[in-house]
Chains A and B, each alone.
Chain A
Amino acid sequence: MTNDISSSLRPALVMTGLFAILLGLAYPLAMTGIGQALFPRQANGSLVTESGRVIGSTVVGQAFTSERYFNTRPSAAGASDQGGYDGLASSGSNLGPASQALHDRVQADLQRMQAATPGRPVPSDLVTTSASGLDPDISPEAALYQVDRVARARGFEPDALRRLVAGSIEEPVLGFIGERRVNVFELNRRLDALRAKPVR
């Protein structure tokens, strides 16, 4: 036993040092170098820049709450009064299924939405928080649900926006891997571009 311990000390110390250098420094730094060289856009966060300012990432969601935009899902990332989508505090709500707080939050959101768009069932993703609080997507149903409201706020034909949504739907790979979805940031950028040539 004593012999076992004494014989272990040198290998344990030296191997820790060697592996720490190989796995903790060489590996991540080499991957950073190669990644930056081969895939610079993705390696830096898939950022979109417009007139010198970073306006978002195509991968990570940002908050859209105004009636002039297609809205993102409710988010539990960061302080709730800040609209969520805090890129330094990703989180779900972690509320359980029989939680009073969950019930009350969903009820309040439903009432708000039904006041703006009466008589239509609200898609479930629009009243539930995502796992990350940074969900970039909504379901096609959730996008179509918002068409009338956005069209009203912008003075567009609803049909033009429906076409815009239909053209923005990402389909599952091979028809079954993943869900049908719409990236809200990219949809809203196309919406802004639409402003340049008003549709009647």
Chain B
Amino acid sequence: MTFQGWLYIAAFVGVLLALTKPMGLWLHALYEGRRTPLHRVLGPVERGFYKLSGINPDEDQPWHRYAVHMLVFNAVLLLLTYAVLRLQGVLPLNGLGYAGIGADGAFNTAVSFTTNTNWQWYVGEAVMSNLSQMFALTIHNFLSAATGIALAFALFRGFARRSATGIGNFWADITRVTLYLLLPACVVYTLYLIAAGVPQTLAASVDVSTLEGVKQTLALGPVASQEAIKMLGTNGGGFFNANSAHPFENPDVLTNFVQMLSIFVIGTGMTWCFGKAVGNTRQGWAILAAMMTIFLIGTAVVYWQEAVGNPVLHHLGVAGGNMEGKEVRFGVVASALFSVVTTAASCGAVNAMHDSFTALGGMIPLFNMQLGEVVVGGVGAGIYGFLLFAILAVFVAGLMVGRTPEYVGKKIESREVKLAVLAIAVLPLVILGMTAVASVLPAGLAGPLNKGPHGFSEILYAFTSAVGNNGSAFAGLSAGTPFYNGMLGVAMWLGRFFVIVPMLAIAGSLAAKRYTPETAGSFPTTGLLWTGLLIGIVLIVGGLTFLPSLALGPVADHLAMIRGQLF
């Protein structure tokens, strides 16, 4: 570890915190449906969309209607993507002549992009036509992100409103978030990326005759436009197989810094927006403090382990940090930080191969996802996931002091706690259940590249990533089989919508409640004690269930690594 390395991490956190309030203010304007300077240009587009689709944006939807409209919209999007992928072979913009994608693969990818997971069983540059990349995949990058933010807005309204029947309008929320935040931000971001060296062309490839006289074919395409929303919407699905490690996706040290910021910036802004929505910005900062504490601990562990390096290679005479699966321009620190950012958020983009991290260095990304990606988290999904933990935290505090728990002016009662537990329990149930199945069936055991405990880690990582809607991988796993495509597709669907529906039910239930003013007996939800309690609840409720699985995978791997036992 070096001083420059820590300075890099400090600079990242500093810039992120400086952006939190400005982003939060903008999000809050969208949350309230206020007019922004962009309405002058895009207002007619918004109104046109409502008119053509027969939407009244002022209709206040009860939670079940909000949920059903969201589900039906996502189902239609899923079918569109499935169809485009299947028909890719006969559609235009297919310069390398790729065939249509098989049923299991198209199912997996359609679910993957609809759920904001962007798990990729395929090698993008060898399977996807340019039309599929932009038409079938990029639209999901926007809309799954907009859906996440809309859902978080709905939950905020549950806390903020008093004796209300509705939690907002789904269509107005996604349209405003897309038109006034994601799209304009991506236009600027795309231009920056192109200027920095990310290709943006309809050409599919170019043939290079190298200095040594060998033919090299470089895949090209509309990379920058997809890259921008891939990061900003915490999608993470790379144009290329190597994702943000590929020099065409992430060409230099500054694009890397900006990419990491763009994964987090909406997520941190949402914490501020929440505080503002419930009338006390300190509520937002308290949540962000808990998130950043867990984030910095994880970052320190990964940086330390990767800087120490791999004793197996040290023994051979290779000194220094672990450079297997890392790019020289990023080195140890920027790779370590990126891995923590991308898994703390539900992004899943990678600039280094997590599979080749040291055992404990690779365990932190896995653990981040098992916590439910609530450390900043995916756009929208992070904050609504975290608020589920906050509900449990006030419940636990309420048990300790013997009072009905309250949070930001709402009584938390049995219905909310049950629904929160239901939403949180989906993660361990599906992750551990499916990992267990895949670890005993021959079709599952055929997947891992590595042998020994690391092979188990590859399977565990895949299901964790799928259920958590992350999309990063211990990529040695050969996941492009009907078995994994099917299992992981179902896992992604459960991990997204079986959290969302109970969460929306909580929003509806909270919105109907009266405001309960804070009294001297209320448990304060802004100070250090609260932040500490939140961290404890996230680590214990979110993390403890997974410790046995981590012992079998990364911890066993670590012990083998330091003893020099090879597999």
Q: What is A's interface to B at a CB cutoff of 8 Å?
A: 1, 4-5, 7-16, 18-20, 22-25, 27-28, 31-32, 34-36, 38-39, 42-47, 53-66, 69, 73, 77, 83, 85-100, 102-103, 106-107, 110, 121-122, 124-125, 127-139, 172-173, 175-179, 181, 185, 188-189, 192
Contacts and interface: CB of A to CB of B under 8 A. Distances in A.
A35 B224 contact: yes
A131 B7 CA distance: 24
Contacts of B352: 92, 131
A93 to B, nearest CB: 6
A127 B326 CA distance: 12
B443 interface: no
Given A39-B194, A87-B217, A94 B356 contact: yes
A42 B194 contact: yes
Interface residues of B, number: 127
B199 to A, nearest CB: 5
Contacts of A175: 4
B195 A42 contact: yes
Which of B197, B317, B319 lies at the interface centre, i.e. has the most chain A CB atoms within 10 A of its CB?
Answer: B197
Contact of A32 (B205, B222, B565): B222
A45 B8 contact: no
A71 B194 CA distance: 28
B252 interface: yes
Contacts of A90: 123, 125, 240-242, 245-246
Contact of A129 (B125, B324, B335, B454): B324
Nearest to B249: A132
Contacts of B218: 45, 57, 60, 87-88
A146 B178 CA distance: 51
A65 B257 contact: no
Given A4-B69, A56-B210, A32 B202 contact: yes
A27 to B, nearest CB: 6
B449 A94 contact: yes
A23 B175 CA distance: 12
Contacts of A98: 312, 359, 452, 454, 557, 560-561, 565-567
Given A24-B139, A88-B218, 4 more contacts: A5-B68, A46-B197, A59-B247, A60-B218
A103 B248 contact: no
A24 B242 contact: no
A138 to B, nearest CB: 6
A18 B142 CA distance: 13
Interface stretch (B48-56, B409-417, B506-514, B526-534): B48-56
Question: Which of B68, B197, B325, B457 is packed against the most chain A CB atoms within 10 Å?
Answer: B325
Contacts of B198: 42
B178 to A, nearest CB: 7
Contacts of B183: 22-23, 27
Given A9-B72, A54-B209, A110-B316, A32 B225 contact: yes
B327 interface: yes
Nearest to A175: B4
A92 B224 CA distance: 22
B316 A107 contact: yes
Contacts of A185: 211
Contacts of B211: 55-56, 62, 64, 69, 185, 188-189, 192
Contacts of A91: 123, 241-242, 475
A181 B322 CA distance: 17
Interface stretch (B27-35, B130-138, B373-381, B487-495): B130-138
Contact of A110 (B49, B210, B317): B317
A15 B65 contact: no
A23 B139 contact: yes
A16 B327 contact: no
B328 A137 contact: yes
B357 interface: yes
Given A13-B76, A92-B475, A130 B327 contact: yes
29 contacts: A4-B64, A8-B73, A10-B54, A22-B45, A28-B138, A32-B202, A35-B201, A39-B194, A43-B200, A66-B212, A87-B208, A87-B218, A90-B123, A90-B125, A92-B475, A96-B557, A97-B312, A98-B359, A98-B454, A102-B324, A110-B318, A129-B324, A130-B326, A135-B327, A172-B4, A172-B253, A176-B8, A178-B331, A178-B334
Interface string B433-462: 000000000000000011110100100000
Given A28-B134, A55-B209, A88-B217, A99 B567 contact: yes
A172 B64 CA distance: 53
Contacts of A39: 191, 194-195
B99 interface: no
Contacts of B75: 12
Contacts of A20: 80, 135, 139
Nearest to B474: A94
Contacts of B317: 110, 121-122
Interface of B: 4-5, 7-8, 11, 45, 49, 52-55, 64-65, 68-69, 72-73, 75-77, 80, 96, 123, 125-126, 134-136, 138-139, 142-143, 171, 175, 178, 183, 186-187, 190-191, 194-203, 205-212, 214, 216-220, 222, 224-226, 240-242, 245-248, 251-254, 256-257, 309-310, 312-313, 316-331, 334-335, 350-353, 355-359, 449-452, 454, 457, 474-476, 557, 560-561, 565-567
B201 A89 contact: no
Given A27-B186, A185-B211, A14 B52 contact: yes
A62 B475 CA distance: 23
A97 B353 CA distance: 12
Contact of A178 (B125, B256, B316, B324): B256
Contacts of A19: 139, 142-143, 178
A60 B247 contact: yes
A58 to B, nearest CB: 8
A44 to B, nearest CB: 5
B53 A14 contact: yes
A8 B72 contact: yes
A15 B172 CA distance: 11
A1 B247 CA distance: 49
A43 B320 CA distance: 37
Nearest to A138: B328
B321 to A, nearest CB: 7
A11 B68 CA distance: 12
B313 A16 contact: no
B171 A11 contact: yes
Contacts of B248: 45, 59-60
Task: Please list the 3 inter-chain residue pairs (A to B) with the smallest Cβ-Cβ separation, ordered nearest first.
Answer: A178-B253, A131-B245, A94-B476
Contacts of B73: 8, 11-12, 15-16
